[in-house]
Structure 1
Amino acid sequence: MGIKRKYGIAFIAAVMTVFVGTGIVSAASDSNRNYNEGAVVAVAQSETYDGALYAAGQSLTVAGTVKGDVYCAMQTVTITGTVEGDVICAAQNIRIDGTVKGDVRVAAQTASFGGNVDGTATVFAQTVDFSSNADIAGDLNGAAGSFAIYGTVGRDVLASAETMTIAGTVGRNVGGEYNQLTVTDNASVAGAVRYTSDKDATIASGVVKGEVARTAPVSNDANMSKDFFAGAAVYFFFSMLLVALVMVLIAPRLLRVVTDNGISSFLPSLLSGFFFVFGAPFLLGLIAVTVIGIPLAGIAFLVWLLVLLLSAPIFSYYLGRIIVRRQDANRFLVMLIGSTVLLLSYMIPILNAFTLLATVTIGSGMVVMAFFNRYKRPTTPAAPALKTFKTKKVTS
């Protein structure tokens, strides 16, 4: 049951990412046509696209060459050509039959591979299929309902799935959590197979060079606790992502003005944020001690709390601008990328503490800097000069 919930969460994440990418991002297409947005985006077989390719819409087809990374949020993605960088995409259906010289990180309903990936492949989908022509030079990671490997994986396989079928070549070890694991007589695993499951795997004789070890899943109570926290993490991810995207919809100019401070004046923003986050509560406490200053301290505390809440979407947009590095970038795509990176880092132990500290200090600091940069102290207008009159001396 725990495995079903885990791959279900992964599938929900994939579908929601597709919805956010194809729905909200495409809604902004009229505001920025420099990006590859529309019903159909294609790189023809004879075409070479020089630079990172950003696309949002219904379908993306890469039959030619992309000299850079591919970032996309589509319904259908088909790559039969060559991508000289990474492929980072969310879609309903993804098929990669060409060559990717970097890493592949995708989320989809169905993901099919029949080409070469020189780096690592990370796949979250309902159905994942690696045909006999597929060749992954690095590791293969992911989660799915159904996982099938008929091709070659150069390093390790680590996944979570209801059913995992290995009928190809794995250069090192196989690990993960599966309801049913099958290693056929056509397979070859150079290392060990260590997996977690209620059932013994079906493994053909002599195809695994190392040890085969099964670990029983933890108790149902522990599974329920893990699933609860996993579900809470997914809820937090998409609820905060929604807040960020709504904010970029209603206040795009404010986000750009505020994050300009972080880009042009990073150190002052960091120091301002550090003082605001840790120094302001101390000052408010001193004001409240006077008793008469309690209402003022209460109002100031609400402002302090509001700025802290705004620091997350502001820092997300700041991250997105750093990653995309284009002045004409689609603001929704910038926020989507920045928010995804930030929210995923929240889910990594130890790193999440540093991420939270950076978010509240830098994000708050950019708000404080923007306020003081735009605030003009009112001045009292100068009094008008008195007019002097010359008198003529009258002589008799």
Structure 2
Amino acid sequence: MKITNAKVIVTCPGRNFVTLKIETDEGRTGIGDATLNGRELAVAAYLEHHVIPNLIGRDAHRIEDIWQFLSKGAYWRRGPVTMTSISAVDTALWDIKAKAAGLPLYQLLGGKSREHVLVYGHANGADIESTLAEVGRYIDLGYKAVRAQCAVPGVKGTYGVAKGQMYYEPASSELPEESVWDTPAYLNFAPSLFEALREAHGPDVELLHDVHHRLTPIEAARLGKSLEPYRLFWMEDASPAENQEAFRLIRQHTVTPLAVGEVFNSIYDCRTLIQDQLIDYIRTSVVHAGGITQLRRIASLAALYQIRTGCHGATDLSPVCMGAALHFDISVPNFGIQEYMRHTDETDEVFPHAYSFEDGFMYPGDAPGHGVDIDEDLAAKYPYEPKQLPVARLKDGTLWDW
């Protein structure tokens, strides 16, 4: 089955998405997500000018060989633009292979390891009272796990606090907006939020929290220790993980579970974290970590050390990525949890899909392939809109990690 054509589709039904569609001489097509928030056109250009010309005429069934060609065969390796492009190709090829077999993708990945996929939603508020109410709303919707973020008093633009409910999209302007960060204020405030959440909602709901790389290792250790009484499911991105050794210091001082990896794009980014058991959950995603092929390798490495998956699943990943992730999740033996931020109605219309949510769990569906398609005519009605992610500065003006 030869690849005869491939094209890049850029659309913005509420936010920008990049989709790669691969066509074959047998009439089968597959799609992969190629979205890199704030750098969408860089990936689109990389695909159009460097990747697609190398795909035409290749056997679509040779997924591993194509993956190696695009990864190992390139002199300039890895990086988010390259790996997002490879991820799109890989996901589209798995989609084609499963469609050729007439099976849902998870069957080609070894079949189900579980009946459904535990997911968590995002609850946020301008203050503790509104955050309590929003967590309660998610519990009423059936969620068993909820990520809680709350504005810190006196800190303008605290990470994770959306402008509205359900749909959080930080990329909001053509040039980056600037937010203010105050570490001492945050460290003093965060424990009070989770104390209130446990008092209001009890011990059964799983609570998660995203620090978003804002702390030094010792500050992260302090936060983790202060949150221990409230039994978090995990503390996410506590410190920038480019220095994987930093998590050793955090680990020495707290038993709060640690999750990291949504910005990783290769197995090398997390090798030390996994092999030295410095984290509990690895959060790499299908779209940024080299597709299903490399994500399975990362999961297999993690399984050796009793580390579970917790794939990134924000709204800056298209339904194509969510569909592929759910097939991965339901098949992988060391699955932990899946982030699930709901897309807008416009996005769901552009990307019709087989997956579904019920009572706190997701189901990938049994459609052949990964179960997600794209309505190209409808996608064309939503042209690209330049948007970038914000940056953060300390109160004295120092640029900080966002």
> TM-score, normalised on structure 1?
0.26
Say which structure is richer in strand.
1
- Higher RCO (CA < 8 A, seq sep 6+): 2
Give the greater-gyration-radius structure (CA).
1
> TM-score, normalised on structure 2?
0.26
